[in-house]
């Protein structure tokens, strides 16, 4: 007797191979059989005319705090997600300890939303224990930025041996407690202060292991290829898998030129035997803190120190000059223009009317120049401003999506106020709707692979990402012609449509289009070998 039998469906197994007709049987949370399954089952699902795929995997979310909020899981399950990974871009909500704890939490807030006391931040072990039994599976990366900030604050400094040892010990502890790998945020403070040699020294605890390092690179605009070269050096020197997060080329002058070069570098490194992979989100706009329009060296000392500096007229003049002419950092305002930077979350009542408007439009309304307007907003909000910035090119996105080693991600951030980026609700259905059905950039099996087996392989998620006997029974059933993203930039807070059934660990989390409230999601810990699976 099986627990579930899915009959008459079309299997798209996650490998990218051709679809085929078969039944899928589930027992004890695993896939028990694929083919003709004559045994009876407690639940029989007729999937005639539907695709049957592995559950989708988003290895790049910032749901570190969201996992513990009321209602978590709805918008994720509605787009077919059965597994997410948090702690990205160096910004994990655990482990955070020591005197800098509050500074780290303030820094995370525009990305993760407020990290309340119900989120266990002291250790990966405590975090993962608490993240168990949620509507979907949750894994975590050890955020090396969080760990550096907790050990050495946000100062721009060369680290001493003692500080390097402390960071290494914390990384080792987080990995021993189940982190899936280490995430870096080299575009963010305080990790932007690393030299390449320091970075290699800190990461040397991973040397020769199979532990992936995921990286938000130092630059993603004019300097993206140099930033990639740095990470290929890290991969070569330490012999570790390196996964490039949200690969992109920001700024019109970089479109069409930088990504083909970056792809050639990745292809060559892979041909040389390096384990390098990447991912991409399917939108031309990103979203992060507004402070990232500032040069990295301006970001020392945490959000309070940045606010103080922005109040200082002399520092502002200096800053204005650098943003006007600067090519020595990821100068987002310079590369994309103030009209392409929207302030998506503004907390103070006097700023609320401007929420969702571009800096250029807010400046016009306030009778200021855009630079002064942006600085004033940052000061009045003490840096807690989230932006949505239109930075990349559709043709570049398509180039990256087509790579056989590129995963789809959302890079969802979870501010609790204001307008979220529509990718939080719809990144995965958007792949099926826009890039498969409307534009034909990917075939359906390629698209499914980029949302299942490819991300699972990048982070070594054993048992996930493929429909095969013995794999975890995380399964989606849907009409590939009907799945759609419902949110937009103007009206983002809408769940995607079209997932008929979503099984998490063999239990129906969505049954015939209805959320069941099941909490079969487990926290995923790194496993050392297949035997311990």
User: At closest approach, how far in Å is the CB of 410 from Zn ion?
Assistant: 11
Is 248 an interacting residue with respect to Zn ion (CB under 5 A)?
Answer: no
The interface mask with Zn ion, positions 204-223, x = CB under 5 A, is: ------------x-------
CB atoms within 10 A of CB 297: 13
Q: Tell me if 104 sits within 8 A of 143, measured CB to CB.
A: no
Sheet (strand 142-143) strand order? 142-143, 182-185, 213-216, 242-244, 276-280, 406-408
**Nearest to Zn ion of 219, 433 (CB atom):** 219
Angle between helices 196-203 and 224-238 (to 10 degrees): 40
Number of residues that bind Zn ion (CB under 5 A): 2
User: At closest approach, how far in Å is the CB of 89 from Zn ion?
Assistant: 3
The interface mask with Zn ion, positions 394-433, x = CB under 5 A, is: ----------------------------------------
**Nearest to Zn ion of 50, 216 (CB atom):** 216
Q: Tell me if 276 sits within 8 A of 244, measured CB to CB.
A: yes
CB atoms within 10 A of CB 475: 28
User: At closest approach, how far in Å is the CB of 437 from Zn ion?
Assistant: 28
Q: Which two tokens stand for residue 147?
A: 């760990």
Q: Sign of the CA dihedral 392, 395, 401, 405? A: negative
User: At closest approach, how far in Å is the CB of 31 from Zn ion?
Assistant: 33
Q: Tell me if 439 sits within 8 A of 395, measured CB to CB.
A: no
User: At closest approach, how far in Å is the CB of 501 from Zn ion?
Assistant: 32
Query: What residues numbered 65-94 form the site for Zn ion, per CB under 5 A?
Result: 89
- Sort 517 into a burial class: Cβ within 10 Å, 0-12 / 13-18 / 19+: exposed
User: At closest approach, how far in Å is the CB of 208 from Zn ion?
Assistant: 27
Cα 515 from chain centre = 24
What separation in angstroms does the CA of 328 have from each of 145, 191, 219, 296, 446? 22, 17, 10, 10, 38
Q: Please name the residues in contact with 453: beta carbons below 8 A apart, sequence gap of 6 or more.
A: 14, 15, 16, 54, 465, 466
**Nearest to Zn ion of 89, 442 (CB atom):** 89
Long-range contacts of 115-121 (CB under 8 A, 24+ apart): 115/64, 115/65, 116/65, 116/68, 118/68, 119/64, 119/65, 119/68, 119/93, 119/94, 120/94, 121/93, 121/94, 121/95, 121/96, 121/97
Q: Which two tokens stand for residue 246?
A: 């949200």
CB atoms within 10 A of CB 8: 14
Q: Tell me if 492 sits within 8 A of 97, measured CB to CB.
A: no
User: At closest approach, how far in Å is the CB of 246 from Zn ion?
Assistant: 6
Angle between helices 196-203 and 161-176 (to 10 degrees): 50
Query: What is the Cα–Cα distance from 504 to 510, expressed in whole angstroms?
Result: 9
User: At closest approach, how far in Å is the CB of 155 from Zn ion?
Assistant: 22
Q: Residue 345 pairs with which residues in a beta bridge?
A: 386
User: At closest approach, how far in Å is the CB of 288 from Zn ion?
Assistant: 7
436 secondary structure, DSSP code: I
User: At closest approach, how far in Å is the CB of 245 from Zn ion?
Assistant: 5
Query: What is the Cα–Cα distance from 74 to 516, expressed in whole angstroms?
Result: 10
Q: Sign of the CA dihedral 149, 153, 154, 156? A: negative
User: At closest approach, how far in Å is the CB of 340 from Zn ion?
Assistant: 18
User: At closest approach, how far in Å is the CB of 88 from Zn ion?
Assistant: 6
**Nearest to Zn ion of 85, 89 (CB atom):** 89
**Nearest to Zn ion of 166, 331 (CB atom):** 331
The site for Zn ion (CB under 5 A) is made up of: 89, 216
């Amino acid at each position: 007797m099986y627990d579930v039998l899915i009959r008459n469906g079309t299997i798209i197994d996650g490998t990218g191979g051709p679809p085929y007709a078969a039944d899928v049987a589930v027992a004890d949370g695993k896939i028990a059989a694929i083919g003709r399954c004559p045994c009876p089952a407690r639940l029989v699902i007729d999937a005639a005319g539907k695709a049957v795929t592995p559950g989708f995997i988003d290895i790049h979310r910032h749901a570190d705090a969201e996992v513990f909020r009321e209602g978590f899981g709805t918008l994720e399950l509605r787009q077919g997600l059965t597994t997410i990974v948090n702690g990205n871009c160096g910004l994990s909500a655990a482990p955070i300890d020591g005197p800098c704890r509050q500074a780290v939490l303030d820094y995370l807030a525009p990305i993760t939303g407020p990290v309340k006391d119900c989120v266990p931040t002291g250790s990966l072990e405590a975090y993962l224990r608490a993240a168990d039994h949620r509507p979907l599976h949750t894994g975590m990366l050890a955020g090396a930025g969080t760990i550096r900030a907790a050990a050495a604050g946000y100062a721009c400094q060369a680290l001493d041996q003692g500080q390097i040892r402390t960071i290494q010990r914390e990384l080792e502890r987080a990995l021993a407690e189940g982190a899936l790998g280490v995430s870096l945020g080299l575009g963010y403070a305080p990790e932007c202060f690393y030299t390449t040699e320091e970075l290699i020294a800190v990461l040397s605890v991973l040397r020769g292991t199979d532990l992936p390092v995921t990286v938000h690179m130092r630059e993603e605009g004019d300097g993206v290829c140099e930033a990639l070269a740095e990470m290929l050096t890290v991969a070569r020197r330490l012999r570790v898998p390196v996964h490039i997060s949200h690969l992109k080329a920001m700024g019109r002058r970089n479109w069409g030129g930088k990504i083909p070069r970056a792809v050639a570098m990745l292809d060559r490194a892979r041909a040389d035997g390096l384990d390098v992979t990447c991912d991409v989100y399917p939108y031309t706009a990103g979203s992060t803190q507004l402070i990232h329009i500032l040069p990295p060296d301006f970001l020392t000392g945490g959000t309070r120190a940045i606010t103080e500096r922005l109040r200082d007229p002399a520092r502002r003049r200096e800053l204005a000059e650098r943003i006007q002419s600067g090519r020595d950092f990821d100068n987002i305002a310079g590369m994309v223009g103030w009209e392409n930077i929207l302030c998506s979350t503004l907390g103070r009542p006097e700023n609320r009317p401007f929420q969702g408007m571009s800096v250029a439009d807010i400046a016009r309304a306030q009778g200021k120049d855009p630079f002064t307007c942006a600085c004033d907003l940052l000061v009045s909000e003490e840096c807690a401003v989230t932006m949505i910035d239109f930075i990349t090119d559709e043709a570049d996105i398509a180039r990256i999506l087509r790579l056989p080693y590129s995963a789809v991600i959302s890079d969802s951030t979870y501010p609790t106020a204001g307008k979220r980026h529509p990718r939080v609700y719809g990144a995965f259905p958007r792949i099926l709707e826009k890039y498969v059905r409307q534009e034909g950039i990917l075939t359906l099996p390629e698209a499914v692979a980029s949302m299942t087996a490819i991300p699972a392989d990048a982070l070594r998620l054993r048992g996930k990402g493929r429909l095969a006997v013995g794999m975890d029974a995380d399964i989606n059933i849907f009409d590939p012609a009907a799945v759609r993203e419902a949110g937009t930039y103007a009206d983002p807070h809408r769940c995607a449509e079209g997932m008929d059934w979503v099984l998490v660990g063999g239990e129906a989390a969505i049954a015939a289009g209805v959320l069941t409230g099941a909490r079969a999601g487990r926290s995923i810990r790194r496993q050392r070998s297949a035997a311990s699976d």
